[in-house]
Amino acid sequence: MLSGINQSSFHVCSIDNAKKFLIAQNNPANNFNPSKYSRFEWFSKNSQLYFCQQVFDASTAADAANLAKYPLADPSDANDSGCGKSGQFAWSQLSLVRR
């Protein structure tokens, strides 16, 4: 583990490829929202893959998947905003690392 870096882990509960999101339970040892539920969303643009942790503190998996309560993130300005409950965060770009 890197010194001074908080690491979190998640346990995948379900994946909805049509809506491009997955629901995961936050690990009980996570520093933030332990044992709560998260929704990670993704989209691709120009051969790049982006993800967003749109929900991070839901009480249940069903609650995290509730699109009426937590609408999908807005990917239209992925470099600057659209991610997070209030859309205040940029999306994170994923990069393939070959070993």
Mean pLDDT in residue range 45-65: 95
For the chain, the domains span 1-64
Task: Indicate the pTM of the whole model.
Answer: 0.87
Q: What is the Cα 73 distance to its own chain's centre?
A: 10
Q: What is the pLDDT of residue 51?
A: 95
Q: Which residue has the higher pLDDT, 80 or 68?
A: 68
- pLDDT for 1 beyond 80: no
Mean pLDDT in residue range 30-57: 95
What's the chain's average pLDDT?
91
Of 32, 31, 11, the C-alpha closest to 23 is 11
- pLDDT for 7 beyond 90: no
- pLDDT for 35 beyond 90: yes
Q: What is the pLDDT of residue 87?
A: 84
Other C-beta atoms closer than 10 Å to the C-beta of 28 total 10
